[in-house]
Amino acid sequence: MQKHQWQGIFPALLTPFDDADRLDLAMFKKNLLAQMQAGISGVIVAGSLGEASTLSNEEKFELVSTAKKVLKGLPVVLCIAEQSTAQAITIAQQAPLHGADGLMVLPPMRYKADDEETVAYFKAIAQATSLPIMIYNNPVDYKIEVTLPMFEELAELGNVVAIKESTRDVSNVTRLINRFGDRFQIFCGVDTLIMEEVMLGAHGVVGGLVDAFPNETVAIFNLVKAGRIQEALEIYRWYLPLLELDIHPKLVQNIKLAAQAMGIGNEAVRVPRLPLVGRERAAVMAIIEEAIKTQPKLPAYLNLP
């Protein structure tokens, strides 16, 4: 995958399960087709939203190979979120055998590595593969921040090409551009900030609610890039209550419920997660149902100049 392909909307895909707790590949394909028709540019497989911590390596690779067949040329990026460097390297080396075009790499799980350890971890993975790599920077959820000096070191590695920017500080997009120019492709990783960060120069979005509302997500991105800010803003204001479902400990359950309501997912999750019930489920459904009822008519947003 060439650097120029790391742009646009990359859904962090959900992992659907059937009643027997197996991968529901039919629903996975249905969602992928909806994403592709909406105009996405690539996908992230087996990330946090994809319940990676509950998937076996075999299941992750099956999702990659399935996505690769459906998407017909769009990049399929496999998430690596492991506890040990050795485990991460094993997945990185096996990923291309199953069709992965790239990797999104999180810092070490469980252990709060310091700056030197974190850089060494990323370097070891990058040096073990020729696949392009997106570094996931999310200190809010994972308690490890990849700082500008750390990215300075990682910039020495040619296959570290992108950053999923999830610090929730929109000015970090400008800091990265000021320091590195176009060295990295910057992706907004927080749903509630997609419009702001794209306006500030982010090249793409790794999104969550796109799994349920792909057309609206791609429309916002394309309209902003085309300078049609007011049209994008109208969609974004409608979208924000839904996007806030992503910044919640139960984002998986929330977004799966939204995808189910839109007919392109189901709400089955893997333990220790449990489906939403009672007042909690009703509150989320109220947000989803209101959004569906007031869903905006989108302008023609594909192939904008």
Task: Round to whole Å and give the CA distance between 234 and 296.
Answer: 9
204, 6 contact by CB (below 8 A): yes
Nearest to 223, CA basis, from 254, 255, 257, 199:
199
What's the CA angle centered on 89, arms 71 and 106, to 5 degrees? 70
Task: Round to whole Å and give the CA distance between 218 and 214.
Answer: 6
Catalytic residue (choose from 60, 68, 121, 164): 164
Task: Round to whole Å and give the CA distance between 75 and 99.
Answer: 9
* Strand ranges (E), the chain: 8-11, 43-45, 76-80, 102-105, 133-137, 160-165, 185-188, 204-207
State yes or no: is 136 an active-site residue.
Answer: yes
Per DSSP, what are the bridge partners of residue 106?
none
Q: For residue 241, what is the enclosing H or E element?
A: helix 229-243
State yes or no: is 297 an active-site residue.
Answer: no
Catalytic residue (choose from 121, 136, 236, 301): 136
Catalytically active residues, by annotation: 136, 164
